[in-house]
């Protein structure tokens, strides 16, 4: 990237209401129009992708090792030389934050900004990279004919409120500088492939914060403006609004804000892996950790990602999101050299399962951002890019798992052949388990009937398959009362096992134990 003379930088920063590090940022309304050079726009986009990669790597060693507790100050989170290259070589799946984004960017490059959602969904579903939670459930749905938005809806996807789309919505904001509503339009189409409700809102919120990071250097402003894209009646909005309020009440104590957040918002009602455990991959609580890192980090790159990681749970994705937004705000060249030093040795390497490197995506993302700017009343004149900025507006209200509360986890630990029926009392149920077989191409076919009504005939690949189904069976919105579930294995074979681990039962009210 070419060097820009300091006086030109100062003039531009004053125009954009962006302050030098160490100076208090100005709190202003979003500008109506912003003009900046192509070099600075590119530097900010580059900073977003680089920050995301750095943050993901930084938190990689502590991902999901600290669930329901902070990572104490005396616990080192190190940044050794070669850290990014090490993960590229040994655990490329760490960068699901990035390679999922690249899938969407690649389709836009092939088919244009108005690429049909079904084309994006099929490219995602037929990819060969490993996926988890809402992503994997959506992949299974699409491969079996359940297309978006149904593929991400909680009725068909028990992981709909999980963090998945939140960690891969970076592309939407980076394509939409200063245009949070345009970012939301991308998220409406692509986010509903994967998620619904709070899971979708996580991506909308992140996309909006990236978008605002192009036109403001005030972290509090970026957070508060991003939140305006979320309906105020949603639990996601209420959680993040609480974090903003606690930050004002405890401005020098991020751990107190974390504790208040745990008390009020750490219940996971959706994800079958998180219900009744300390594991919490719910979007809003992890987004709260991102915001805690950003607000208490106060624009300092290290403090931001360190706090976001030390909040625990998804401790690689949360600093990745925070660092990506901060990297966009600062620009690549203002990311501290201490963190940038690990980038050059990987910037020409393709991310696993993709045909794109960081250097490729820097340029491709800039190209697409310029297209979006022009499409949305902006302009390009020589080297000057003018953005028609947007006041953020809330997206539509939707809430997953509404009226459904987990009341019991029943341990099964049996093969499907070992029990003829299963009884429960409630309005919904999720059966967890897996399929094993020496033949890795085997796909079990099982019918599930509830109250003698066959509800589904499912195809279940072995657990090691990229096409596997996260959860064996589920059904929500049943009539409240007692139900009997029966399973029929259509293509049984002696060397295969269909193991049922447990069942999570839902009712329309919490099963609270009280003293007599």
Cα distance between residue 378 and residue 36, in whole Å: 12
CB 215 within 8 Å of CB 186: no
CB 199 within 8 Å of CB 163: yes
Strand partners, 460: 444
Q: 446 and 367 share a domain?
A: no
**pLDDT higher at 24 or 142:** 142
**Rg (the chain; Cα; Å):** 23
Q: What share of the chain has pLDDT > 70, as a percent?
A: 93
Question: Does a structural domain hold residue 179?
Answer: no
User: Based on the structure, what is the number of domains in the chain?
Assistant: 2
CB 324 within 8 Å of CB 59: no
Q: What three-state secondary structure class fits 379?
A: strand
Helix (H), strand (E) counts: the chain: 17, 11
Average confidence score pLDDT of the chain: 92
Q: 414 and 368 share a domain?
A: no
Q: 417 and 479 share a domain?
A: yes
Q: 321 and 465 share a domain?
A: no
Question: Does a structural domain hold residue 431?
Answer: yes
Containing H/E element for 475?
A: strand 473-475
CB 196 within 8 Å of CB 400: yes
pLDDT for residue 235 is more than 50? yes
Question: Does a structural domain hold residue 120?
Answer: no
Q: 46 and 16 share a domain?
A: yes
pLDDT tens-digit map of 279-335: 999 999 999 999 999 999 999 999 999 999 999 999 999 999 999 999 999 999 999
Tell me the backbone φ, ψ of residue 467, rounded to 5 degrees: -100, 15
Cα distance between residue 174 and residue 172, in whole Å: 6
Question: Does a structural domain hold residue 188?
Answer: no
pLDDT tens-digit map of 196-222: 999 999 999 999 999 999 999 999 999
Q: 423 and 495 share a domain?
A: yes
- The pLDDT of residue 291 is 98
Task: List the structure tokens of 172.
Answer: 């939407």
Task: List the structure tokens of 454.
Answer: 């066959």
- The pLDDT of residue 4 is 36
Task: List the structure tokens of 426.
Answer: 């409630």
Arithmetic mean of pLDDT, 401-426: 95
Q: 377 and 427 share a domain?
A: no
- The pLDDT of residue 30 is 78
Q: 433 and 308 share a domain?
A: no
Residue 209's nearest CA partner among 87, 291, 92 is 291
Tell me, what CATH number does 241's domain have? 1.10.4080
Strand partners, 96: none
Q: Could you tell me if residue 281 is left (phi over 0), alpha (psi between -120 and 50 degrees) or otherwise beta?
A: alpha
- The pLDDT of residue 452 is 95
178, 195, 269, 394 from 35: Cα distances, Å? 11, 35, 45, 26
Q: Final residue of a domain: which of 388, 423, 446?
A: 388
pLDDT band at 509 (very low <50, low <70, confident <90, very high): confident
pLDDT for residue 515 is more than 60? no
CB 446 within 8 Å of CB 488: yes
Cα distance between residue 108 and residue 60, in whole Å: 29
Cα distance between residue 398 and residue 45, in whole Å: 31
Q: 303 and 351 share a domain?
A: yes
pTM: 0.93
The verdict on whether omega for the bond into residue 149 sits within 30 degrees of 0, i.e. cis, is yes
Cα distance between residue 263 and residue 58, in whole Å: 27
pLDDT for residue 8 is more than 80? no
Q: Could you tell me if residue 331 is left (phi over 0), alpha (psi between -120 and 50 degrees) or otherwise beta?
A: left
Show the CA angle centred on residue 299, arms to residues 293 and 303, nearest 5°.
Answer: 50
Task: List the structure tokens of 160.
Answer: 């709909």
pLDDT tens-digit map of 473-507: 999 999 999 999 999 999 999 999 999 999 999 99
- The pLDDT of residue 511 is 59
Q: Final residue of a domain: which of 344, 362, 388?
A: 388
Q: Could you tell me if residue 481 is left (phi over 0), alpha (psi between -120 and 50 degrees) or otherwise beta?
A: left
Arithmetic mean of pLDDT, 383-409: 97
State the pairing for strand pair 405-415/473-475: unpaired
Cα distance between residue 485 and residue 507, in whole Å: 16
Containing H/E element for 223?
A: helix 219-227
The verdict on whether omega for the bond into residue 49 sits within 30 degrees of 0, i.e. cis, is no
HSE-CB at 72 with a 13 A cutoff on CA atoms is 2
Residue 445's nearest CA partner among 487, 406, 403, 413 is 487
- The pLDDT of residue 19 is 31
Cα distance between residue 258 and residue 381, in whole Å: 47
- The pLDDT of residue 9 is 33
Task: List the structure tokens of 511.
Answer: 């099963």
Tell me, what CATH number does 459's domain have? 2.60.120.260
Q: 363 and 281 share a domain?
A: yes
CA trace torsion 381, 384, 388, 389 (10° rounding):
170
Q: 374 and 431 share a domain?
A: no
DSSP label of 311: T
Q: 484 and 426 share a domain?
A: yes
pLDDT for residue 456 is more than 70? yes
Q: Final residue of a domain: which of 388, 414, 448?
A: 388
pLDDT for residue 114 is more than 70? yes
Which domain range does residue 483 map to? 405-507
Tell me the backbone φ, ψ of residue 145, rounded to 5 degrees: 85, 5
- The pLDDT of residue 16 is 37
142, 267, 423 from 137: Cα distances, Å? 9, 21, 25
Question: Does a structural domain hold residue 94?
Answer: yes
Containing H/E element for 240?
A: helix 235-249
Task: List the structure tokens of 93.
Answer: 């799946």
Question: Does a structural domain hold residue 90?
Answer: yes
Question: Does a structural domain hold residue 77?
Answer: yes
Arithmetic mean of pLDDT, 343-372: 96
Q: What share of the chain has pLDDT > 90, as a percent?
A: 90
Question: Does a structural domain hold residue 495?
Answer: yes
């Amino acid at each position: 990237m070419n060097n820009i003379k300091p006086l030109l930088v100062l003039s531009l920063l004053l125009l954009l209401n962006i302050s030098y590090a160490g100076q208090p940022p100005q709190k202003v309304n979003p500008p109506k129009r912003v003009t900046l050079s192509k070099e600075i726009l590119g530097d900010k986009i580059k900073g977003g992708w680089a920050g995301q990669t750095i943050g993901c790597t930084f938190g990689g060693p502590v991902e999901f090792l600290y669930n329901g507790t902070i990572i104490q100050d005396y616990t080192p989170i190190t940044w050794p030389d070669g850290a990014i290259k090490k993960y590229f070589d040994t655990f490329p799946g760490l960068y699901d934050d990035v390679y999922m984004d690249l899938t969407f960017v690649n389709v836009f490059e092939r088919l244009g900004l108005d690429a049909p959602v079904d084309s994006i969904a099929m490219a995602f579903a037929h990819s060969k990279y490993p996926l988890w939670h809402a992503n994997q459930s959506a992949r299974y749905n699409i491969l079996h004919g359940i297309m978006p938005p149904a593929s991400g809806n909680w009725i068909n996807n028990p992981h709909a409120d999980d963090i998945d789309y939140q960690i891969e919505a970076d592309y939407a904001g980076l394509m939409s500088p200063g245009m949070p509503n345009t970012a939301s339009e991308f998220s409406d189409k692509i986010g509903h492939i994967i998620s619904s409700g709070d899971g979708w809102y996580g991506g909308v919120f992140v996309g909006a914060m990236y978008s605002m990071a192009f036109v403001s250097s005030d972290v509090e402003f970026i957070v508060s403006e991003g939140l305006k894209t979320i309906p105020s009646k949603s639990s996601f909005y209420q959680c993040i609004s609480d974090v903003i309020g606690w930050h004002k009440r405890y401005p020098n104590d991020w751990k107190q804000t974390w504790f208040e957040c745990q008390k009020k918002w750490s219940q996971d009602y959706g994800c079958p892996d998180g219900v009744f455990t300390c594991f919490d991959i719910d979007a809003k609580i992890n987004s709260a950790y991102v915001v805690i890192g950003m607000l208490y980090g106060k624009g300092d790159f290290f403090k931001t990602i360190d706090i976001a990681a030390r909040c625990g749970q998804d401790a690689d994705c949360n600093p990745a999101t925070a660092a990506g937004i901060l990297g966009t705000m600062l620009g690549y060249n203002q990311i501290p050299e201490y963190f940038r030093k690990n980038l050059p040795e990987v910037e020409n390497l393709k991310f696993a399962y993709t045909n794109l490197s960081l250097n490729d995506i820097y340029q491709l993302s800039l190209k697409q951002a310029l297209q979006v700017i022009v499409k949305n009343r902006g302009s390009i004149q020589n080297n000057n890019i003018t953005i028609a900025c947007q006041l953020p507006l809330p997206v539509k209200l939707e809430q997953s798992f509404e009226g459904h509360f987990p009341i019991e986890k029943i341990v099964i630990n049996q093969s499907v052949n070992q029990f003829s029926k299963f009884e429960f009392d409630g309005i919904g149920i999720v059966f967890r388990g897996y399929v094993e077989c020496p033949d890795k191409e085997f796909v079990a076919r099982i019918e599930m009937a509830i109250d003698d009504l066959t509800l589904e005939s499912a195809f279940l690949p072995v657990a090691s398959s990229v096409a596997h189904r996260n959860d064996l069976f589920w059904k929500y919105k049943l009539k409240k009362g007692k139900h009997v579930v029966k399973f029929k294995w259509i293509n049984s074979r002696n060397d295969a096992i269909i193991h049922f681990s447990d069942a999570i039962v839902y009712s329309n009210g919490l099963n609270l134990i009280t003293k007599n």
